[in-house]
Amino acid sequence: MTIDAEGNEQAGINASTDTCWQKKGSGWAYNSLSGTAKGMEPDMVVQLVKDVHEQNIEINELAGDYDSVGFDRAKKLLSNSKMVRTSDRNHIIINITKKLYSLKQKQKELTPMVKNAITKNYSYMLAQNQGSPEKIEKGVRGMIDHMYGKHQTCDMKWCGYLKDRASYRHTNLSFGKDLTSESLKADLEKLFLGKIESQSKKLSKLASSQANESFNHTVSTKAAKNKHYSGSSSLNYRVSAAVSEAAGLSPGNETIKRAIRLNRKRVIKNLKEPKQSSTKKEESI
C-alpha cells in the first residue's frame, strides 16, 4: 500500500527509473547492427515494468526524465494498467539549468551567480509547494518578482524582505541588489510562466530518482567508468556486488571470511619482506 497526494491509501507501488552507462561518453552510438545506447533505456523500462507486472505488483506512478518513449511503450504493452507518468525533480532542475545557460549569450546580467540564484530559488519553490498547483503558479511569479524588488506576491515563509524591510539585501545576487534588466525578466517570464497553467499540476506532483542516482554511484565504485568493464566478464560480479550492497546484503559471511583471509596474507607478506631485504644487505656487506 502507498499514500497518494491526498493522503489516501492505494494499492501498488511508485517507481522511478534512471540509467547508468558502463562507459564514459554521450550515450550515442551509430551502429545499426547492435542498436543505439539511447534506445536501450526505453527497452529497459519496458522490461522492468513487465517483470514487476508478472509478479502481480501494480505500478501506480513511474518517475523518470523527459524521455517518455519507455513509458509509452510500457502503457501500450500493458493496456489495462492505470500507471501514470510523473516527472523527476532532478531532471526538471537540470532542464531549467540548460535553458538558462542558452540565455546566457544574449543576457549579460545572467551571470553564473544570477543563474545559480534562479535555479536555487526555483528548486526551493517546487519543494515547498508540492501538492498545490495554485501555489506553484503563485510561487513562480513570486520568485521572479522577488529578484526584481517586487514583493507583492512573495510569501512570509521565505521572503526576507517581508520579515525585515529596512535592512534586507539579497544573499545570492551581486552586491545584494535587485535585478534590473527588463529584457532578462521578459525571457524569465517566457521560460517559467509561458506554460505554467498547463504544467502546474505536473510540477506539483514531482517524484525523485535520488535512490536511482545513489545506486548508480554505488555501481560506478565497483565498475569505474574510466575502465571498460562492460567488455569484461567481471562486470556481472561487480554489478551484483552493488545490488547486494544496496539491498543491505553485503558483506555476507563468505565475503567477510575471504576478506579476513586476504588481509591475513597481506599482513604476513608485509612482515616477511623487511626480513628478506635485511638479510640481502647483510650478505652484500
Express each pLDDT in 116-129 by its tens digit.
Answer: 999 999 999 999 99
**How far apart, in whole angstroms, are the C-alpha atoms of residue 172 and residue 113?**
7
In 10 A of CB 162, how many CB atoms?
14
Q: Strand 9-10 and strand 2-3: pairing?
A: antiparallel
Q: Of the candidates 23, 25, 19, which has an alpha carbon nearest to the alpha carbon of residue 42?
A: 19
Average pLDDT over residues 24-28: 50
Q: Of the candidates 5, 195, 20, 140, which has an alpha carbon nearest to the alpha carbon of residue 86?
A: 5
pLDDT in tens, 86-111: 888 888 898 899 999 999 888 888 99
**How far apart, in whole angstroms, are the C-alpha atoms of residue 278 and residue 118?**
65
**How far apart, in whole angstroms, are the C-alpha atoms of residue 127 and residue 131?**
10
pLDDT at 197: 80
Give this prediction's pTM.
0.68
pLDDT at 27: 47
Give 77 or 283, the one with higher predicted confidence: 77
Question: CB within 8 A of 53, min separation 6: which ones?
Answer: 59, 78, 81
Identify any residues that bridge with 9 across adjacent strands, giving them in sequence order. Answer: 3
pLDDT band per the 50, 70, 90 thresholds, residue 275: low
pLDDT at 277: 52
Q: Is the pLDDT of residue 239 over 50?
A: yes
Q: Of the candidates 104, 126, 110, which has an alpha carbon nearest to the alpha carbon of residue 205?
A: 126
